[in-house]
Amino acid sequence: MYHILIRLTTGFYFFSYHMEHIKDGISGRELFQSREGLTYKDFLTLPGYIDFVPDEVSLQTKISKNIQIHIPVISSPMDTVTEHKMAIGLALIGGIGIIHSNNTIEDQAREVERVKRFENGFIHDPILLSPENTILDILTVKGKFGFSGIPITEDGTMKTRLVGIVTNRDIDFEKDKKKKIKDVMSTQLITAEQGVSLAKANDILKDSKKGKLPIVDKNGLLVSLMCRSDLIKNKEYPLSSKDNSKSLLAGAAVSTHPGDRDRVEALVEKGVDLLVIDSAQGYSSYQLEFIKTLKKKYPAIDIMAGNIVTSQQALALIEAGADSLRIGMGPGSICITQDTMACGRAQASAVYHTALIARKHNVPVIADGGITNIGDITKALAIGAASVMVGSLLAGTQEAPGEYFYENGVRLKRYRGMASLEAMEAGGAKRYFADDQKIRVAQGVSGTVMDKGTIFDFLPYLVQGVKHSFQDMGIKNITKLHEELYSENLRFERRSLAAQVQGGVHNLYSFKKPIIGTE
Ligand code: IMP
């Protein structure tokens, strides 16, 4: 309502608009009152008042009752998205990765272990040889892995003492390839002691003029290795997602399938921080039981339950003990669930309605699937999500599993739904209660996505974009954003189809879409 005060002072009229009473647009409640399902493209947020710069925006968020991260981005547990490289990269930048379970228990546990044991700049599982190996063995390692600074321990494992190191220089002029390493290795070693800081180890490496710096414990056992070639990569990451003992956070997917009880145990043993119950339709007796069992057995580990899309489903999982909810049934880029199964919900409606009820119980909701750009991330947060979960957005990055290849001159990576026939063959059917079915109905497709470079460039770009959106809304953090949503100060507008067309690039003969701009 307009509230206009007209005051007469020294003969002039002053009009002062009391802005707090002007509510243009509609509230989130009004937006989602409509019985029609809405997606992110169906609405916009209206701008607020700017009195700060984007750098003042904090995107810190709680993604479960006990886990807080600095960047609201979680990578999907999919076999073309999240293994240890993605999970390490994301956690360093401030997000978290969920290791997929389309593999053996041992493989998944090893992936989690690699994240938990990761120390920036330090290699914990270097290739080793023993003094009894030959120059030929060194050449084989070099051929396979492309480097030649190899630490030598008594028996070629991390369990025995470090006795030397072999570099290119030691073997360059050796003609006899059968010569034993003990006859050529350098034994004058410069090492650092376990517990050395990243900065100190970097300094020792620089001063030593060597290619490698072995880190050893009190007994002379090799603990890790630092490489000169990684020096510029050995940066500090102030926003990284870490547990109390300073290890990176790692999430892992498990299914409600009885066979996965052992999987949970193996993951917990490796220090997993967040268990994500991976199910396409999470409102099931199996999942409710599973949540209760997990909470009883592992009370210290947070459980993200799902996937769900209605308030009824949300309440059931919350009451069973879920610490976080994963929202989405059908919005994923590779997903054909809604068409095939006739069941699901438009993603923005699903996020809004589940977030509304989950907030009352202090349980964060994660908007999973259908995120295509910066704007979608902001919109998911603006309608109540604590974070987004993304698959296709990250599948083309260097850190996603799989090799790049070219098609029509474009550099691509494969990306497939976990319910695509291809992924189900490889073991992904558990998510869809279909692993023991003779006839499988695919709910996903396999495809390709374009190269997006490294997440160390791509994620900061997304983050910067979201900070700009927050600035446009006049809001400095996610907690405030949610307060403004529920107090109805945050205003929205529905977009007609014509408005959507006008909001995109139009009326041009051709144009280039720059993705990441640098100074
Ligand atoms: P995207 O970010 O739009 O690519 O969606 C990723 C999300 O799609 C995942 O986090 C899963 O929730 C979901 N998903 C993964 N595989 C499938 C599938 O085969 N069918 C349907 N949904 C899937």
What pLDDT sits at residue 125? 82
Read out DSSP for 396-460?
Answer: TBTTSSS--EEETTEEEEEEE-TTSHHHHHTTGGGGGT-TT-SS----B-EEEEE--B-HHHHHH
Q: Does ligand 1 come within 6 angstroms of the Cβ of 167?
A: no
Q: What's domain 54-119+240-401+455-502's superfamily in CATH?
A: Aldolase class I (3.20.20.70)
Beta-bridged to residue 192, according to DSSP, are 215
Give pTM, 2 decimals: 0.86
Distance 207 CA to ligand 1 centre (A): 49
What pLDDT sits at residue 429? 60
What pLDDT sits at residue 10? 43
Residues of the chain above pLDDT 90, percent: 71
Q: For ligand 1, pick from 73, 100, 307, 335 the residue to mutate: most ligand atoms within 8 Å of CB.
A: 335
Q: Say whether 263 is catalytic.
A: no
For the chain, residues classed under CATH 3.20.20.70 are 54-119+240-401+455-502
Judge whether 389 and 72 are in contact, CB under 8 Å: no
Q: Does ligand 1 come within 6 angstroms of the Cβ of 77?
A: no
What pLDDT sits at residue 15? 45
Region of poorest pLDDT, from 36-50, 118-132, 250-264: 118-132
What pLDDT sits at residue 411? 95
What pLDDT sits at residue 313? 98
What pLDDT sits at residue 22? 75
Cα 215 from chain centroid? 30
What pLDDT sits at residue 434? 61
Closest CA to 240 of 400, 118, 122, 126: 118
305 or 1: which leads in pLDDT? 305
Q: Tell me: the pLDDT tens digits for 474-509?
A: 999 999 999 999 999 999 999 999 999 999 988 899
Confidence grade of residue 68 (pLDDT, cut at 50, 70, 90): very high
Beta-bridged to residue 397, according to DSSP, are 453
From residue 511, alpha-carbon distances to 450, 497, 505, 507, 514 in Å are 18, 22, 9, 10, 9
Atom number of ligand 1 nearest to Cα 307: 12
What pLDDT sits at residue 21? 63
Catalytic residue among 414, 416, 431, 491: 431
- Backbone dihedral angles phi then psi of residue 459, each to the nearest 5 degrees: -65, -45
Rounded CA-CA distance 72/122 in Å is: 27
Q: Tell me: the pLDDT tens digits for 349-386?
A: 999 999 999 999 999 999 999 999 999 999 999 999 99
What pLDDT sits at residue 292? 97
Token pair for 54: 């984007």
Average pLDDT over residues 116-137: 89
Q: What mean pLDDT, rounded, does the chain reach?
A: 90
Q: Say whether 335 is catalytic.
A: yes
Q: Does ligand 1 come within 6 angstroms of the Cβ of 420?
A: yes
Confidence grade of residue 211 (pLDDT, cut at 50, 70, 90): confident
Reported for 192-195, long-range contacts at CB under 8 A and 24+ positions apart, including other chains, are 192/216, 192/226, 193/217, 193/218, 194/218, 194/223
Beta-bridged to residue 170, according to DSSP, are none
- Backbone dihedral angles phi then psi of residue 486, each to the nearest 5 degrees: -80, -20
Q: For ligand 1, pick from 74, 376, 418 the residue to mutate: most ligand atoms within 8 Å of CB.
A: 418
Atom number of ligand 1 nearest to Cα 78: 15
Judge whether 424 and 416 are in contact, CB under 8 Å: no
Does the pLDDT of residue 322 top 60, yes or no? yes
Region of poorest pLDDT, from 107-111, 195-199, 317-321, 460-464: 195-199
What pLDDT sits at residue 118? 86
Q: For the chain, state the CA radius of gyration.
A: 27
120 or 327: which leads in pLDDT? 327
Does the pLDDT of residue 436 top 90, yes or no? no
Q: Tell me: the pLDDT tens digits for 74-95?
A: 999 999 999 999 999 999 999 9
Catalytic residue among 335, 414, 416, 491: 335
What pLDDT sits at residue 59? 98
Rounded CA-CA distance 329/423 in Å is: 18
Confidence grade of residue 517 (pLDDT, cut at 50, 70, 90): low
What pLDDT sits at residue 3? 42
142 or 64: which leads in pLDDT? 64
127 or 439: which leads in pLDDT? 127
Closest CA to 277 of 265, 262, 294: 294
* 353 phi-psi bin (left φ>0, alpha ψ -120 to 50, beta other): alpha
Distance 444 CA to ligand 1 centre (A): 8
The CATH class of the 135-236 domain is alpha beta
Does the pLDDT of residue 7 top 90, yes or no? no
Distance 332 CA to ligand 1 centre (A): 4
For the chain, residues classed under CATH 3.10.580.10 are 135-236
From residue 393, alpha-carbon distances to 81, 413, 415 in Å are 9, 12, 10
Does the pLDDT of residue 45 top 80, yes or no? yes
Average pLDDT over residues 62-69: 98
Does the pLDDT of residue 435 top 70, yes or no? no
Atom number of ligand 1 nearest to Cα 372: 3
